[in-house]
Amino acid sequence: MTRIAFLAAGRTGPNPRIHELHELALIERTPGGAERLSLWRLRPQRLPDADAEHLRRTRYFDQPTAAHSAAAIDVNLGTPSPVDPRLLAADLASRLFGAEVVTCDPGRDLPFIGAWLEAHNQLPGWRRSADVTSAAAGLLAGIMHTSRNDARGCVVDWRPLGDDWDAERLAVSLGVLAAPDPELPCHALRRADLARRLYDAVHYGPPLDLSLPAPPDPEPPAELAGDALAEGLDDGLGLAGEDTTHSDDGDHSRRRDRLVAVDPAAATTVLPAPQH
């Protein structure tokens, strides 16, 4: 099993060329299943260049400000311990090296993290990255039974999921997260934990006993059309009291076809419970 790094970043805006990191969160999962949580806060050097709307949306000013250039935060007590940014970059690079990095938004977080590591003479050496939000959207689309087959193969109707695949909304729909409090700041550790929850839902199944909706009843065989269908229903309902020990294979096949035609519940699929 590859080491997995659930990673999230707090940013002062969407552009890695002019905006900065102000928070980093990492949840490491080793092949044995043990996990290690880490949180760091960085003091922005160019806060006047920050995107004001982004800071407002992520409730940046509701979070504790970094008193040092970089600090490791105790995830239980919230107390900071100063750390040299260069040593932090070297430590983070070594912990990400060869790992599978999982984020809710790799297109935004990873360019910032990669640029920050390179600015401190470190290379982003993770093995590969995974967009767990898109994977969760695909899982939910399957559960909602929104796919169909046509000449192009399997086509998924994404419209029920909306235009914006919000990771928290997907997590709530999959049953891995209670409805979030909109007043909570967008902490990086909270988003790293969200990536972990979505990853487990995608790989091990949602924690809820979700059943796929049964497909429409299939067309009855031609020999069961009209009055023959009604007769077949009567026969099917009476199977429990009949002697079915004889070896007339053709008769068994006909009875089986009747049951398939009138029992859509037999097509219902239950997703397995998660196994960590």
CB-side neighbour CA atoms (13 Å) of 177: 23
Taking residues 181-210, report their average pLDDT: 80
Number of structural domains in the chain? 3
The angle formed by the CA atoms of residues 219, 222 and 227, to the nearest 5 degrees, is: 95
Domain membership flag for residue 184: yes
Largest Cα–Cα separation, the chain: 86
**pLDDT at position 164:** 61
Domain membership flag for residue 215: no
Same domain, 177 and 87: no
CATH number of the CATH domain containing 88: 3.30.420.10
Report the relative pairing of strands 128-131 and 21-29 from DSSP bridges: unpaired
Residue 82: other Cβ atoms inside 10 A: 11
Report the distance separating Cα 55 and Cα 140, nearest Å: 30
Domain membership flag for residue 71: yes
Same domain, 96 and 174: no
pLDDT in tens, 111-148: 999 999 999 999 989 999 999 998 888 888 777 654 45
Report the distance separating Cα 93 and Cα 102, nearest Å: 15
Report the distance separating Cα 99 and Cα 202, nearest Å: 19
**pLDDT at position 91:** 96
**pLDDT at position 77:** 83
Report the distance separating Cα 22 and Cα 113, nearest Å: 11
**pLDDT at position 264:** 38
Domain membership flag for residue 179: yes
pLDDT in tens, 58-82: 778 877 766 778 999 998 888 889 9
Decide: pTM greater than 0.85.
no
- Phi and psi angles of residue 29, each rounded to the nearest 5 degrees, phi first: -120, 120
Same domain, 33 and 99: yes
pLDDT above 90 coverage of the chain, percent: 29
Same domain, 15 and 72: yes
Q: How far is CA 161 from CA 131, 145, 191, 211, 256, in A?
A: 17, 12, 20, 18, 38
Q: For 89-93, 189-193, 212-216, which range has the lowest pLDDT when averaged over its residues?
A: 212-216
Same domain, 73 and 126: yes
Same domain, 99 and 150: no
Write the burial class of residue 272 (CB in 10 Å: 0-12 exposed, 13-18 middle, 19+ buried).
Answer: exposed
- Pull the structure tokens for residue 221: 């065989």
Same domain, 48 and 90: yes
Give the domain-ending residue among 115, 131, 147: 131
Give the domain-ending residue among 131, 161, 184: 131
**pLDDT at position 178:** 81
**pLDDT at position 89:** 96
Domain membership flag for residue 109: yes
Same domain, 127 and 144: no
Same domain, 45 and 94: yes
Give strand ranges (E) for the chain. Answer: 4-11, 21-29, 35-42, 70-73, 80-82, 100-103, 128-131, 147-150, 153-156
Report the distance separating Cα 192 and Cα 40, nearest Å: 13
Residue 15 near residue 113 (C-beta atoms within 8 A): no
Of residues 142, 89, 79, 135, the one with CA closest to residue 112: 89
Could you tell me which residues come within 8 angstroms of residue 46 by beta carbon, excluding any fewer than 6 positions away?
12, 18, 20
Report the distance separating Cα 208 and Cα 72, nearest Å: 36
The answer, yes or no, to whether residue 25 has pLDDT greater than 90, is yes
Same domain, 119 and 238: no
The answer, yes or no, to whether residue 200 has pLDDT greater than 90, is yes
Taking residues 148-173, report their average pLDDT: 65
Of residues 60, 72, 57, 69, the one with CA closest to residue 10: 60
Taking residues 189-201, report their average pLDDT: 93
Same domain, 233 and 115: no
248 versus 4: which is more confidently predicted? 4
Give the domain-ending residue among 102, 131, 160: 131
Domain membership flag for residue 246: yes
Range of the domain at 238: 222-267
**Residue whose tokens read 């695949």:** 165
Same domain, 103 and 151: no
**pLDDT at position 110:** 92
